[in-house]
Amino acid sequence: MSGPDPQILIDIPSQLVGQRVIVRPYRPGDGTALWDAVEESREHILPWLPWGPSHKSPDDSEAFVRKCHAKWLLREDMPMGVWDRTGEKYLGGSGLHRIEWGVPSFEIGYWLRKSAQGRGYMTEAVWLITQLAFETLKAQRVFIRAAAGNYRSAAIPPRLGFIHEGTLRNSARNANNELCDMLMFAMTPGEYENRSAEMRVG
């Protein structure tokens, strides 16, 4: 009989606290906050996030966060919500996805509600998650994909020191079922250490 999956035994902070945001796993009861953000931002997020139409009611959003909670406990996926520093206002979603524990390798995904754009919230949140991946989860690779036409999303990885590895042509479909190119950015442990040192000096 095999033992437990080792990743389940990793102690992970209950929340990541930055200067202006808190990033934490979804909990039962977060569905209302998620629903409000999706409702506010449908036209804003739908071109890039095909899951938007699946949120047809607050119950859909509550079911979503409960599934996220279960996946987090099993370390099958690590979805997280991004909140303001008070922990009261939900700003958007992020997390570690497409996990390969044998490497370990993680993808960071993210979206931000319309009213929270342009303030640097997601840049801060993505860096907190990057720190978690490298320092706690011992990542050997962290990557971010962004649709070539999603300029705001694509601006975050290079700002944090992720390297543009290339463009994956016709590799995804948007919410309108149109083919789109995806920009691939990635960071390895040495690059993370260099970027961390630069940020401490800065």
**Domain locations along the chain:** 14-201
pLDDT > 50? residue 139: yes
- Over residues 147-193, the pLDDT tens digits come to 998 899 999 999 999 999 999 999 988 777 889 899 999 999 999 99
SS3 168: strand
Q: What is the reported pLDDT for 53?
A: 74
- Is 3.40.630.30 the CATH number for 14-201? yes
Query: Helix crossing, 121-131 with 151-159: angle to 10°?
Result: 50
- Over residues 47-103, the pLDDT tens digits come to 777 676 788 999 999 999 999 999 999 999 999 999 999 999 999 999 999 999 999
Q: What is the reported pLDDT for 202?
A: 62
Q: What angle do CA 87, 93, 97 make, to 5 degrees?
A: 130
Global pTM reads: 0.93
Establish whether the linkage from the previous residue to 79 is cis, with ω within 30° of 0: no
